[in-house]
Structure 1
Amino acid sequence: MTAVRRSLAYGLAVIIGVLSTPVLAHEPILKCVLLDPATVRCRGGYAEGETAQGERLEVIDHADRRLLAGKLGKDGTLTFARPKGPYYVLFDVGPGHQAIVEHDEISLPRASDRARWVRK
């Protein structure tokens, strides 16, 4: 009896592992930088390296008012004027698939950052 239970438990673990792999493959990634003190650029993509061209990005203040809604361009970026008060950037690609960047996490890129999307 224990051998049967062990086989069932092992089989169930394998099935759960196989079914959860596609979910992890599309984990959204969002990074935002200041291009200058008045301009923010965000780049959305997925954990496996794909950009998220055409996906929606929203900028929301802390009173839950939408300040901006836009779609990511061909390079997976969206550039916008920096809001005056506290805000966050929401990259929502479906139930359970969100990435959020708070305004106080957004800063100028490091001098060593050579990615083209973080340059004006």
Structure 2
Amino acid sequence: MTKQLIRAGLALLAMASFSAWAHYPVMDCSREGEKIACQVGFSDGTLAQGQEVVIYSYDDEELARSAADGSSVARFNWPKGEFYIQFDAGHEDPAEFDYVEF
């Protein structure tokens, strides 16, 4: 009986660790005229509706902020100067997109 309990406990522990694996944030941005559209989500394919996406200057000054819509897209006006876009979902490594990548 004890071996069965240990096996059951190990099986539950293994299943819990699989569900606890973190899915990192992903982002792909495109230029649409004088606008920017950034599709955001997670590496497991889930969307990031309502999540904040921020544009920063190279001096780390916040230039714009937008929440992803129901299609998991955040939209911005094209800012002046050099900038990068960040989707930080609270993990160690946020997703970033630099303006030179357009």
Q: With the length of structure 1 as denominator, give the TM-score of the two structures.
A: 0.66
Task: Name the Cα RMSD after superposition.
Answer: 1.8
Q: Does 1:51 align with 2:50?
A: no
Distance 2:19 2:57 in 1: 33
Matches within 5 A, 1:23-34: 23=22, 26-34=23-31
Q: What's the offset of the Cα at 1:95?
A: 3.5
Seen in structure 2, the aligned counterparts of structure 1 residues 20 and 50 have a Cα distance that, compared at 3 Å, is closer
Q: With the length of structure 2 as denominator, give the TM-score of the two structures.
A: 0.77
More helix by share: 1
Distance 2:93 2:52 in 1: 12
Q: Give a deviation string over 1:73-102, Cα, whole Å, max 9, x none.
A: 110001111112110000001041410000
Percent of matched pairs sharing the same residue: 25
Q: What's the offset of the Cα at 1:70?
A: 1.6
Distance 2:87 2:76 in 1: 15
Describe the SS at the equivalent of 2:76: strand
What is the aligned residue count?
87
Where in structure 1 do 4 or more consecutive aligned residues deviate above 6 Å?
none
Matches within 5 A, 1:1-120: 18=17, 22-23=21-22, 26-36=23-33, 38-106=34-102
Q: Give a deviation string over 1:57-84, Cα, whole Å, max 9, x none.
A: 0000011110011211110001111112
Seen in structure 2, the aligned counterparts of structure 1 residues 46 and 95 have a Cα distance that, compared at 3 Å, is closer
> What are structure 1's unaligned runs of at least 5 residues?
1-14, 107-120
